[in-house]
Amino acid sequence: MSASVIFFFILAGVTFDCVTGRVRSARRNIQGISMRELSISSSASFRYAHVLVRSLVENTDTSDHELMFRVRIPYEAFITNFSIITNDNTYNAIIKDKNAAYEEYQKAKEDGISAGTITQQTSVADDRDRDIFRVKVNVAAQTTLEFRLHYEEMLLKNAGKYSQKIYIDVNSFIVPQLEVICELKEKQRFKEVTYQTPLSVESIYSDDEKVTEDGYYIRKFEWKVSEADQIAANDGFMKPFEIEYELEPSENGGMVYINDNGEFVHMFSTPCEEANVMMKQIVFVIDISGSMAGNPIKQVRQTMYEIFKLLRSNDFFNIIIFNKDALLWNQQFQKATVLNIESATLFVEKKVVAEGSTNINDALLKAVALFGQEQDGDDRVGQIVVFLTDGEPTVGVQNPDRIRRNVRDKNYYGGKECCKSSIFTIAFGSGAATDFLDALANENEGFLKVIRDKNDGEDILELYHGVENPYLKDIIFSFKAGDEDVPEENTTRTEYRQYDCGNEIVVAGVTFPGAELRPVIQASNNNGTVSYEDMQIIRTAAVDENRLSRLFAYQRVKHLLKQAEIIVDGNKLSSELMKEKALNISLHYGFVTPLTSLIVTEYSPKKMASPPANRMGALAKSQSGSSKSVQYDLSNFFYDDTDFDQQDIRNKTNSANNFAVNNSMCFVLFMVILSLY
């Protein structure tokens, strides 16, 4: 998932559709409403991006006008703050439990108080820009409004590169001041940095690198768009402002950042050496039901031809197509020889034709059955399922939870330990059961990628490039603080079935303040067992300590939400416990997640007390064999109500400790919602 931002407006009943690119009005300011400034600034340190979207809108008319402000944010991002500034007054949103926010919103409506909520939906719209933030507001005559939206996101590595996409859709407006400013800051040297503007044909190389006194490498660039260029772009800014960068690889297991509070993030990667890339077994499971007709089935055929060309000679592959029945190209994996690739190409050309219903269960079980039943012998082979569909099951087993359970029974060793193959799911369009496909992928060590209806297949190839180089199997992370073991419950996920060397594994954790941390990684590769030790440990300077703390919290919330989603066997109590922990962290750090909302009202909330510097609580040590273990009391870290006023905690966001809302609101805020396009 890559970062993206989209702006568009609804003014005086006229819609300017930035998502489809259809401009349904002349490119001019309407009825005295104009956008004077639009700026998007992104600052990314150790792959964690803080993005500020700032818009200045003016109504020079003698009467008020209604305006709707919408911003898309990426699927992986969390909104952290929203504010509206007018007539020297600032109105900030407050973070609350979703239910509490809804109750306050309803009460405000009953009392005739201006109010709104900002709520994240739980469904996935598409992989590039999942959520849409809407503000519907009446702009008083002769008034200027400034909107500020902050969000944060971990930039993910795929096929060796990190990427960030920023969409700028102003449509009808010609903006006198329009700019994008980006800064990248890394401890590793940049190997290559490129960016491509919406108006450029080719990528622009950025080689203006600066090095700080404490050894950080900085790349900074900005793009300002003249009014003449905006007018010339008469179809709007359809393409994104896209940044891609590659870092010099770390030779020994990546980098570990730690702050004085004991919060740490390990970013694990290793160079891709062709001789050490494992052979792989990969099966493509392709939905050919009737709903795939048209562009989706065409994309699949064209992309499969390209993927066949990329298979290594020592790879083994297979194809399963399915509608109401599942048909295998071959009963077993076949080596990627010239003759076999020709045979597979002919099979796709003749058989990948859309018709019939959708039997997902049978197709997936046939795919998993291709892999061996025993774990021994699998530790030096990459094992991958790529599952492509555009809909929901319509025949056979149709209950998503039942299908997930059936797949786990076949794909997990002994039905309990994940997993023989990693399952990556690709969903076409908005009709696919994305919640189901997301959970299916997550609990089988894969991920979901959603493809827009109109796409040339590049996203499918992008997914393949992220799985084509299996490099390690059975990776286990452990951490010592001094002579003590950091317990698993103090970290995010620490065990991975397989790793592709073009990607990055991120493990976050916490130990006691000031600890000397030592990570150890055990894994298997082509040559047998391998271990990584003596990784570079970087203690962040004061200026970066808060950012690392927020990155740690971000990773922790992501981990807890994912664990809550994929809890097996209907263990509702465990799932609710995970959600409660995620909720408490989200409230403290001001993250808008599926469990929280931001709310804007004319009520003045209670002033928040400053939290104590050290939230880790007491340490309780226990001895286990010859290895020492430190069990931390995490009740304070998860911000339970043992020592804090919950209302105080819920009023905190990332950018300020006091979000008092001024009662002199001089405009009417009708509605603020975050929802799907």
The amino acid at 280:
K
Task: Note whether 11 and 127 are same-domain residues.
Answer: yes
CA–CA separation, 138 vs 670, rounded Å? 7
Within-domain flag for 69? yes
Range of the domain at 374: 281-467
Question: Following DSSP, what letter does each residue of 174-188 receive, concatenated?
Answer: --SEEEEEEEEEESS
Among 71, 84, 86, 66, smallest CA distance to 10 is for 66
**Helix axis angle, 400-411 relative to 360-369, nearest 10°?**
10
Within-domain flag for 109? yes
pLDDT at position 121 is 52
Residue partners of 28: CB distance under 8 A and separation at least 6: 172, 174
Q: Please name the residue that has the structure tokens 């698993």.
A: 488
Total of domains in the chain: 2
Among 629, 601, 628, 632, smallest CA distance to 616 is for 632
Task: Note whether 287 and 245 are same-domain residues.
Answer: no
Task: Note whether 404 and 333 are same-domain residues.
Answer: yes
Task: Note whether 330 and 411 are same-domain residues.
Answer: yes
DSSP-derived 3-state class of residue 390: coil
Domain containing 335 — which CATH number? 3.40.50.410
DSSP-derived 3-state class of residue 206: coil
Among 133, 97, 91, smallest CA distance to 114 is for 91
- Domain-ending residue, one of 467, 502, 526: 467
- What does the pLDDT look like over 210-225, one tens digit per residue? 998 888 999 999 999 9
Task: Note whether 166 and 48 are same-domain residues.
Answer: yes
- Domain-ending residue, one of 467, 498, 533: 467
Residues 672, 138 contacting (CB under 8 angstroms): no
Residues 155, 47 contacting (CB under 8 angstroms): yes
CA–CA separation, 150 vs 77, rounded Å? 10
448, two tokens: 């979901």
Strands 65-73 and 131-139, how do they pair? Answer: antiparallel
Alpha-carbon distance values, 503 to 217, 561, 655 (Å): 21, 22, 31
Strands 495-500 and 255-258, how do they pair? Answer: unpaired
CA–CA separation, 1 vs 162, rounded Å? 10
Q: What is the DSSP letter of 443?
A: T
Task: Note whether 163 and 55 are same-domain residues.
Answer: yes
Within-domain flag for 54? yes
Residue partners of 438: CB distance under 8 A and separation at least 6: 124, 425, 448, 565
**How many other CB atoms sit within 10 Å of the CB of residue 280?**
23
Task: Note whether 101 and 194 are same-domain residues.
Answer: yes
- Domain-ending residue, one of 436, 452, 467: 467
Task: Note whether 366 and 219 are same-domain residues.
Answer: no
Among 662, 651, 546, 637, smallest CA distance to 609 is for 651
CA–CA separation, 628 vs 550, rounded Å? 29
Task: Note whether 128 and 203 are same-domain residues.
Answer: yes
Within-domain flag for 638? no
Burial group, residue 436, by CB count within 10 angstroms (0-12, 13-18, 19+): buried
pTM of the entire structure?
Answer: 0.81
339, two tokens: 């003759």
Q: What is the 3-state secondary structure (H, E, C) of 246-315?
A: EECCCCCCCEEEECCCCEEEEEECCCCCHHHCCEEEEEEEEECCHHHCCHHHHHHHHHHHHHHHHCCCCC
Q: Please name the residue that has the structure tokens 């493990």.
A: 507
Task: Note whether 411 and 371 are same-domain residues.
Answer: yes
Within-domain flag for 621? no
Q: What is the DSSP letter of 661?
A: P
The amino acid at 556:
R
Residue 38: enclosing H or E segment and its boundaries? strand 33-45
> What sign does the dihedral 326-329-335-338 (CA atoms) show?
negative
CA–CA separation, 514 vs 512, rounded Å? 6
Residues 378, 372 contacting (CB under 8 angstroms): yes
CA–CA separation, 209 vs 264, rounded Å? 27
Q: Find residue 598's DSSP bridge partners.
A: 95, 118
Within-domain flag for 399? yes
Task: Note whether 74 and 205 are same-domain residues.
Answer: yes
- What does the pLDDT look like over 409-465, one tens digit per residue? 999 987 778 899 999 999 887 678 888 999 999 999 999 888 865 566 678 888 899
Residues 184, 245 contacting (CB under 8 angstroms): yes
Within-domain flag for 268? no
pLDDT at position 16 is 29
Residues of the chain with pLDDT under 70: 1-31, 66-71, 108-109, 112-138, 171-172, 234-236, 373-378, 430, 452-457, 543, 568-571, 600-677
Within-domain flag for 566? no
Q: How much is the mean pLDDT over the chain?
A: 79
Q: Please name the residue that has the structure tokens 């009808």.
A: 172
Task: Note whether 231 and 370 are same-domain residues.
Answer: no
Report the half-sphere exposure of 281 (CA within 13 A, side-chain side).
18
